[in-house]
Amino acid sequence: MTLQVRATKGKTVRRIAFMGSPEFAVVALRALHEAGADVALVVTQPDRPAGRGQALRPPAVKEFAQSVGLPVLQPTKVRDGNLSKQLLDLNIDIAVVAAYGRILGRDVLDAPRLGCVNLHASLLPRWRGASPIARAIAAGDAESGVCLMRMEEGLDTGPVLARVVVPIGEMDTTATLEVKLAAAGGQLLIAHLDDLFAQRLTAQPQDETLRTLAPPLEKAEGRIDWTLPAAVVHAHVRAMQPWPGAVTVVGNEAWRVFADGLQLDDRHGEPGTIAALQGDTVWVHCGQGTLGIAQIQRPSKRQMTAGEVLRGARLGTGARLS
């Protein structure tokens, strides 16, 4: 099974529409631009309020596209027929999607001559959905990757055209792994760009029996459960970086725990209690084993060493964090 081709008159063209929003997508768009691809249109989400002043902030893809002179479209709706009309009017041959953040309807998927392909940051069918990177780390996966897939109306259900595997490091966070996957995705796209247009890629259907879902992260998921094994808590803290952040409640405060300098130990004790304070590292008992924490942030304070925070809060061995 290969990408469907719609017949066209005249000479072969290679006009690309790119759809994406965050920094992850910028890497693929930059790779296309530097490769000299004809990116006829960049589609991204509308500017959003951000920061304390709630000033409108453009998506990272918009900022890059404008910096290199690429035309940008920011539709508020993608199912009203206007986006598909734009793609048809521009004679788009293929649309490349990377973390756009919107569900595309059939009219958009069919508008480009060769359809739409997506760069998805997981090894499909594992982790379909909006948060595949964090879910992979939290689950303790040894590897992740990027799939170049043909898009269908289902959520990341389309057949896979090509993929690259990326190992997950023992200290990788969602932020650091995203950087690795973005780079791998950009390389994957450029390596197979000619193959996409020449219809040389065989699409492999996904095995539905192996599917797992990666729903969007919610703020409440940052809460640390100290009854879990230390290795699981270690993975959780890394997965919650940078958002929503891993937190533990101390008294009436929510303390943010960072992934920098996390360590594991096989000591046992009551989950959530401080086992020891060694230098600037605090060791906390988990359901199995002990987690060493190096960096903590109290509300309205700067990030500090765990030792500084514990001494400032006058907490020592035996105190309970949650």
Same domain, residue pair 280 and 184: no
Supply the pLDDT for residue 52.
80
Assess if residue 178 is contained within a domain: yes
Whether residue 49 is found in the same domain as residue 119: yes
User: Which CATH number goes with the domain that contains 231?
Assistant: 3.10.25.10
Residues in the chain, overall count: 322
Identity (one letter) of the amino acid at 177? L
Domain-embedded: residue 162: yes
5 in any annotated domain: no
Annotate 267-279 with b (16+ C-beta within 10 A) or e (fewer). Answer: eebebbbbbbbee
Which amino acid is residue 271, in one-letter code?
Answer: P
Provide the pLDDT for residue 9.
Answer: 46
Within this chain, do residues 159 and 97 fall inside the same structural domain, yes or no? yes
How many Å separate Cα 322 from the centre of its chain? 29
For residues 285 and 156, membership in a common domain is answered with no
Task: Give dist(CA 233, CA 239) in Å, integer.
Answer: 10
At residue 218, the pLDDT reads 98
CATH of residue 120's domain is: 3.40.50.170
**282 vs 184: CA distance, rounded Å:** 36
Residue 322 lies in a domain: no
Indicate if 66 and 190 belong to the same structural domain. yes
Q: Which of 214, 236, 251 is the last residue of a domain?
A: 214
Whether the predicted model's global pTM rises above the 0.85 cut: yes
Which of left, alpha, beta for 318 (phi over 0: left; psi -120 to 50: alpha)?
Answer: left
Residue 12 has what pLDDT?
56
Specify whether 202 is located in the same domain as 271.
Answer: no
Residue 85: how many other CB atoms lie within 10 Å: 13
Q: Do the beta carbons of residue 14 and residue 96 sit within 8 Å?
A: no
Enter the tokens of residue 218: 């919610």
Q: Is residue 8 part of a domain?
A: no
Question: Along the 322 residues of the chain, how does pLDDT read in single tens digits?
Answer: 334 434 444 445 699 999 999 999 999 999 999 999 999 999 999 999 987 888 899 999 999 999 999 999 999 999 999 999 999 999 999 999 999 999 999 999 999 999 999 999 999 999 999 999 999 999 999 999 999 999 999 999 999 999 999 999 999 999 999 999 999 999 999 999 999 999 999 999 999 999 999 999 999 999 999 999 999 999 999 999 999 999 999 999 999 999 999 999 999 999 999 999 999 999 999 999 999 999 999 999 999 999 999 999 999 999 999 7
Q: What's the domain range around 232?
A: 219-312
1 in a structural domain = no
- Residues 172, 34: one domain? yes
In the listed set 165, 194, 214, which residue is the last one of a domain according to the structure?
Answer: 214
Q: What are the structure tokens assigned to 4, written together?
A: 């469907």
**What six digits make up the tokens of 108?**
């958009």
Assigned domain for 318 exists = no
Q: How far are the Cα atoms of 6, 28, 98, 216 from residue 101, in angstroms, in the given order?
A: 27, 15, 9, 11
**Whole-number Å distance between alpha carbons of 41 and 19:** 8
Is the domain of 144 the same as that of 190?
Answer: yes
Same-domain check for residues 90 and 155: yes
**What is the number of other CB atoms lying within 10 angstroms of the CB of residue 12?**
9
The confidence score (pLDDT) of residue 77 equals 95
DSSP H stretches of helix in 125-173: 132-138
Instruction: Among 214, 236, 259, identify where a domain stops.
Output: 214
CA distance 165 to 221: 27
In this structure, the answer to whether residues 223 and 191 fall within a common structural domain is: no
Instruction: For residues 198 and 288, state if they share a domain.
Output: no
**Residue 305 host element (H or E):** strand 304-305
Tokens of 47: 């500017």
Q: Is residue 196 part of a domain?
A: yes
Same-domain status, 162 and 124:
yes
Domain count, the chain: 2
Cis check: omega of the bond before 125, within 30 degrees of 0: yes
Confidence at residue 8, expressed as pLDDT on a 0 to 100 scale: 43
